[in-house]
Amino acid sequence: MSKIGRKPIPFSSAKIEIKDKSVFISGPKGKFTHHLPDQVELSLKDNSLVLSIKENTRNNRILWGMHRALLANKVKGVEIGFEKKVKIVGLGYKAQLTGRKLIFSLGYSHKINYDLPEGIEVKVDKTGQNLIFKSSDKMLLGEVCSTIRNFRAPEPYKGTGIILEGEVIIRKAGKTKVAA
């Protein structure tokens, strides 16, 4: 039995409609459509979604848990939303928001322009080094933060670069003078 798949998905303000193998989820933060495979069945019970499988096989249990997690993320996204914090560390490193475009100064000979995709909101503090990304789509939010991190990945000697919240940078010792 899937330990994740059998847990019900509670919801409060989301409106959920089930048609065949499609689930339409809408709420105050956005709307999603999720398509279920034939092996997984979905039902509504007392303000919660319950997933089940037709046949207990290994592949069906894998699909059961995965689609339960995907549906739970979409329900949480339309009700509450997701948030990720990004910190830019380094002398002169900063970001600037102009309209739907982020402009990064990261120590290169040029500035990096990044167009924000639809569904992503960003707040930049006055120093330009702390960014807060918000979205109702967890996968899109992770993809955007990962792309931005790759503009200047944190380096292990000084610790400068773009760091996601909760990320641990393993620092290395620099060269030391050897006494002869």
CATH homologous superfamily of 9-79 = Ribosomal protein L6 (3.90.930.12)
Position 103 scores a pLDDT of 95
pLDDT of 180: 66
Q: Determine contact, residues 33/85, Cβ cutoff 8 Å.
A: no
The token duo for 85 is 């914090």
pLDDT at 1: 56
Q: pTM here?
A: 0.88
Helix (H, G, I), strand (E, B) or coil at 132: strand
Domain 82-164 sits in CATH 3.90.226.10: no
Strands 112-115 and 101-105: antiparallel
DSSP symbols for 1-52: --TTTTS-EE-SS-EEEEETTEEEEEETTEEEEEE--TTEEEEE-SSEEEEE
Query: Taking the domains of the chain in order of start, what are their residue ranges?
Result: 9-79, 82-164
pLDDT in tens, the chain (180 residues): 568 888 999 988 889 999 988 999 999 989 999 999 999 998 988 889 999 998 989 999 899 999 999 999 999 999 999 999 999 999 999 999 999 999 999 999 999 999 999 999 999 999 999 999 999 999 999 999 999 999 999 999 998 999 999 989 899 988 888 876
